[in-house]
Amino acid sequence: MAGQTDDQNRLYQRDPNYIPRVAAVHDMCGYGKCSLTAAIPILSAAGCDVCPVPTALFSAHTMFKDYTFHDTTEMLPGYLDAWRKEGVDLDGIYSGFLGSAEQVDIIRRMYREYPRALRLVDPVMGDGGAMYPTYTEEMCKAVVRLVDGADLLMPNLTEVSLLTGLPYEGQDLNDDQVEKRLARLLEMGARNVIIKGIDRGDGKLRNFVASANQDGAGGKRELVHEKLPFMIHGTGDAFASSLCGAVFAGRGLADAAQIAGEFVRSAMQHTRNQPNYQERGVSFELDLGLLTGLVG
């Protein structure tokens, strides 16, 4: 999948003897496969040292009827102060689900304090045309501030709409509609964009990659995966985490996105054999060795 063009889209040159250190700025769910419970093992399987920055604590993810939610905003400044005092260094800052609008300023603080770290943004705000239950219009407007300067932005179609103000038109977008959205996000300052989850009803799922250092959205790459006949919670976090892991393994963007898609598809197939899989979420444990092999 990685030709000469994709080789030029490598965001990270991996020293095989070095383990890159990545801050994972996400929530933690006690039950349900998502966020840090996905990011930590998946990035580790790809050869990264994962440093969690918990943005919220949930008893279970928000697809369950009953869950507890604790916003960690107040503890994070001291948490990061301690890192600085100890001389912690970072190669990447990978952000996802946030507990409050104020946490955008905390991420931007990390950008200032770790200027050489890659900025990997999964703007986790909603799905299926709707915001997640703990999000507000204020929070979504704050997340827009993470687009400018993002080395890699990884929204689904709902999040594209929330970031750009363009209408949410479902999952079946044609090439012109995709290019318009890619172009808007690049104009907003993202350096590389991967839009996830285009479904044209042909048994395939499509992701599209575009980079500011190419011919705008006209230089997009289309990546096609088999669509399985069921949906599972948490696949977006598994995709983004494995994509980031492949990036830190030194793979080009299109190659990394292809690897992430294959990892998630295989994990979904194993998930169907688990009890309560539709509520609990994607079970990727049996596929962590596959990911390690795919990233090389």
Is 66 within a domain?
yes
In a domain, 11, yes or no: no
The pLDDT score that the predictor gives to residue 286 is: 95
Q: Which of 66-75, 84-93, 130-139, 198-207 has the highest mean pLDDT?
A: 84-93
Residue 219 belongs to a domain with what CATH number? Answer: 3.40.1190.20
Q: Helices 253-271 and 235-248, interaxial angle, to 10°?
A: 140
Residue 3 has pLDDT above 60, yes or no: no
Q: Would residue 93 count as lying in a domain?
A: yes
Is position 244 within any domain? yes
Residue 13 lies in a domain: no
pLDDT computed for residue 232 by the predictor: 85
* Number of domains present in the structure of the chain: 1
Average pLDDT, the chain: 92
Tell me if 8 is assigned to some domain. no
- Over the stretch 150-197, which tens digit does the pLDDT of each residue have? 999 999 999 999 999 999 999 999 999 999 999 999 999 999 999 999
Edge-first strand order for the sheet with 69-71 is: 69-71, 49-60, 21-31, 92-95, 118-121, 152-153, 192-199, 204-211, 221-226
At residue 32 the predicted structure's pLDDT band, cuts being 50, 70 and 90, is: confident
pLDDT(233) > 50? yes
pTM of the predicted model, to two decimals? 0.94
User: Per the structure block, which two tokens stand in for 129?
Assistant: 């045309």
Q: Is the pLDDT of residue 1 over 50?
A: no
Domain that holds residue 200: 19-286
Q: Are 254 and 207 in contact (CB under 8 A)?
A: no
SS3 of 52, please? strand
In a domain, 196, yes or no: yes
Residue 296 lies in a domain: no
Cα separation, 144 vs 190, whole angstroms:
11
